[in-house]
Amino acid sequence: MVRRMDPPAEGFAPLPELVKPMLAVLRDEVPPDDESYGFEFKWDGVRAVVYVLGGRPRVLSRNDRDVTGSYPELRAMAEALGSRQVVLDGEIVAFDADGRPSFGALQSRMHVTDSSSVRRLATQTPVTYLVFDVLHLDGRSLLDLPYVERREVLESLQLSGRSWQTPPWFRGGGDAVLDASKQQGLEGVIAKKLDSRYFPGRRSDCWLKVKNLRTQEVVIGGWKPGAGRRAGAIGSLLLGVPDDDGLTYVGHVGTGFTDKMLRDLEADLAPLARDESPFAHAVPREHARDARWVEPQIVGEVVFSEWTRDGRLRHPAWRGLRPDKAVAEVIRES
């Protein structure tokens, strides 16, 4: 039986139109006072806030894009909630054949809006919504509740179905949770202060993320033609990260692409062509030579080994596009 919450004494609060997701701060290791934190696995997918009203879902990405039509799997979850009014926060994930989250597999679902294509892909590459927070329930905002109490409310909803789950959390024991994430091939962990409220749209050190992989969101500022098998097509992308001066060049990436990724990128970048470099400072001559510049409007993600002393990505490999991220949200994760 799902527990119902009594409305607050001051009256009924309608379902909000928009609650921007709270963001975490990157750390190299779990906090030493880990008994003050709850630990969750970090899932390699796309963030989504889901608004359920009248048994219907409205799904918004991290940059407030309505992606409801791309993920029909969530309709069943909304129907299962019946008359409940709820705002949920979580991650949309696609799993590979070994049951591990696969960002590469999820790429095929992230750009599709055509209904027939969506239905076909939902069969070929189904997704699961992993719910880790509840922000509003039946006329009451839960933003001011401590994390541990919001988790209690979330678990009382018993959200478990074919395409939606409530993953576990752990009080303390951060090193053990991080080790478990490595053994399971997961991206890392999120540490959340037990007594912290939810800060919409803010990057707060009440939430800390510790990654097993080093990843960086990047903005595409141009590309260079390929050679050999890639002759006449994209050979590498020129990448930047916004800062106070504008778009700062952080390196180029030429690995990690499938042929389909390259074809899709060429189609996406063609209408964004421009004559001059969008980077705030000069790009090294060997990389600027023969470059095709584009308007810096497309966000992607790379995995890399480290930052060099001159602020470049060492050994980056392409992971995929991030249509759920806005250019203004991209920051250097150091």
Domain range summary for the chain, segments of one domain joined by + = 21-41+170-213, 44-166, 215-329
Instruction: Indicate if the pLDDT at residue 165 is higher than 70.
Output: yes
pLDDT in tens, 192-217: 999 999 999 999 999 999 999 899 99
Q: Grade residue 4 by pLDDT with cuts at 50, 70 and 90.
A: low
pLDDT in tens, 111-148: 788 999 999 999 999 999 999 999 999 999 999 999 99
Q: Grade residue 5 by pLDDT with cuts at 50, 70 and 90.
A: low
325 has catalytic annotation: no
In the CATH scheme, what is the code of domain 21-41+170-213? 3.30.1490.70
What DSSP string runs through 224-275?
EEB-GGGBTSEEEEEEEEEETTEEEEEEEE-SS--HHHHHHHHHHHGGGB-S
- Does domain 215-329 correspond to CATH entry 2.40.50.140? yes
pTM to 2 decimal places: 0.83
Q: What is the DSSP code (8-state) at residue 313? A: E
Cβ neighbours for 228, distance < 8 A, ≥ 6 positions apart: none
Return the CATH fold of 44-166.
Answer: D-amino Acid Aminotransferase; Chain A, domain 1 (3.30.470)
Q: Grade residue 6 by pLDDT with cuts at 50, 70 and 90.
A: low
Helix axis angle for 115-124 and 103-110, nearest 10°, is 160
Which pair of structure tokens corresponds to residue 287?
Answer: 């990389």
Instruction: Indicate if the pLDDT at residue 234 is higher than 80.
Output: yes
Pick the catalytic residue from 20, 42, 192, 260.
Answer: 42
In degrees and rounded to multiples of 5, residue 17 shows phi and psi of -75, -35
